[in-house]
Structures are given as structure tokens and as C-alpha cells.
Amino acid sequence: MEISLFMKCVFEFIGTLVLVLLGDGVCAACSLNKSKAKGAGWIVITLGWGLAVMAGVFIAGPYSGAHINPAVTLGLALGGLFPWGAVLPYIAAQMLGGFVGAVLVYAFYVDHYAATADQPDTMLTTFCTMPAINHKTVNFFSEFVATFMLVYLIMALGTRGNVAYVGTMNAGLGSVGAFPVTAVIMSLGMSLGGTTGYAMNPARDLPPRIAHAILPIKGKRDSGWSYSWIPVFGPLCGAAFAAAIYLITYALL
């Protein structure tokens, strides 16, 4: 059955919505006052984000490829693995999904946001990333490197030796591909997430930041706009570099 571009975008929207709902949800659960999970810590957050990606991939994977990340879409297009005509529609769907997912997190934890009104920084970081140390050059480099690793590893997962082949045809990993991607996300979070919170995904960061700015959150601070470009352009540049290295290295085989 041929799946239309519109339906692929619908699944990108749903997959990204679920990614942000569960990912920002674990941040809210571990950070907001009176949450039963408050203080659970970084390991729970990295596990939660990895499983959030897995959930999004299971939903969207069979129909859209489950990019659920504009940086992944751009990287695959630059690497010749995705048609350019679908790039902007995919990104639009992902950004909208990220916004709706963040709004749902607020609705779910609304009483806990009210109980955390005296901690505006904490509330902001349940929506989007902010750096542990505000040093924009290093912050950009952190997002660049983390997203380079994410996109390059995703490309590597689709290469011969990592997938099954039937004759000359790539049989792919199917839904099982969600598990190695989950492991990649958790590894990157645990190893490289301490500086910026490892956005690695403009749809995970900018739309929720916009939601934070719009929603009537008592006691909220500004939405960190002076930093907001880093978790957008850092991942996009990292993905572009991953595509370049992919083309160079695999062309040499």
C-alpha cells in the first residue's frame, strides 16, 4: 500500500507528540513539587527520554520512517536517503507535534506546576533545554557533537552488516530498529547530556519553548530566548556534518 505524504506527516506529528509528551513528561515528573517521582534524577530522565523515542518510533516507524526530529530529516536528505520534497512537510509536522505534546504535559501536570510556582527555572526546563553553564560557544559545540553522533549512528544502523539482506535487497530492522535507537538516545544522554540537556532535536526544544511562553503558567520566567537558537542550529549543523561524514566514509567502501 502506497502511503501518501500527508499520512506520513500525520504519523510524524503523532510520533513527535508522543516523544515530547513522554520526554517532557519525565522531566516534569522528576522535577515538579509534589510529584511522586520528584528527585528521581538524571538516570530516570535519560531512560525516560530513550523510551519516549522508542514509543514515537513504534508509532510512526512503519508509515513515515519515524524521523520525529528535523535534524534527522535534514541529515537523511543531505545523505541522499530521503527525498528533498518531503523535508519541509515533515519538519512542519514535527514542530506542530512538539508543541501539542508540550501543551499536554502542562495540562497533565497543571497542579504540580502551580505547586512549583516559586521555581521558574525548574518549570522552564520541563519544557525545553537550558545550559548547565551558560557558555554559548561550548553549548553550541555540545549540541553539534551530540546530534552528529545521533544522526551518524542512525545512518550506520541502516548499513550492510547492521541489517538483514535478502539477495541484494535491504530487509531493514523493522520495528526492532526502535531498540537500538533507544539505546543510542540513552547513551548520548548519559554521556553527553550534562552540559545542555541534550536537545538534539529542534522539535523537542523550540515548540515546547513557545508553549512555555504562551501558556498561563503562574510564576514563570522568560522562555530563554537568548539561548533558544542553540538547540535549533546546533543539532541542524551536527546533522549536516554527520551526512557529510557518512557520504565520505561509505563512498570509500
Q: Taking 50 as the threshold, does the pLDDT of residue 221 lie above it? A: yes
The predicted model gives 144-168 an average pLDDT of 77
Q: Taking 90 as the threshold, does the pLDDT of residue 252 lie above it? A: no
Q: Mean pLDDT, the chain, as a whole number? A: 93
The predicted model gives 47-52 an average pLDDT of 97
Of the candidates 154, 144, 181, the one whose C-alpha atom is nearest the C-alpha of residue 82 is 154
pLDDT at 130: 98
Q: How confident is the model at residue 176 (pLDDT cuts 50, 70, 90)?
A: low
pLDDT at 250: 82
pLDDT at 253: 74
Q: Taking 70 as the threshold, does the pLDDT of residue 161 lie above it? A: no
pLDDT at 79: 94
Q: Taking 90 as the threshold, does the pLDDT of residue 168 lie above it? A: no
pLDDT at 56: 96
The predicted model gives 203-215 an average pLDDT of 98
* Domain ranges, residue 235: 5-251
pLDDT at 157: 82
Q: How confident is the model at residue 164 (pLDDT cuts 50, 70, 90)?
A: very low
Q: Domain count of the chain?
A: 1
CA dist., res. 218 & res. 196, Å (int): 25
pLDDT at 179: 84
pLDDT at 108: 98
Which CATH number goes with the domain that contains 143? 1.20.1080.10
Which residues 6+ apart lie within 8 Å of 168 measured at CB? none
Q: How confident is the model at residue 170 (pLDDT cuts 50, 70, 90)?
A: very low
pLDDT in tens, 93-141: 999 999 999 999 999 999 999 999 999 999 999 999 999 999 999 999 9
pLDDT at 163: 53
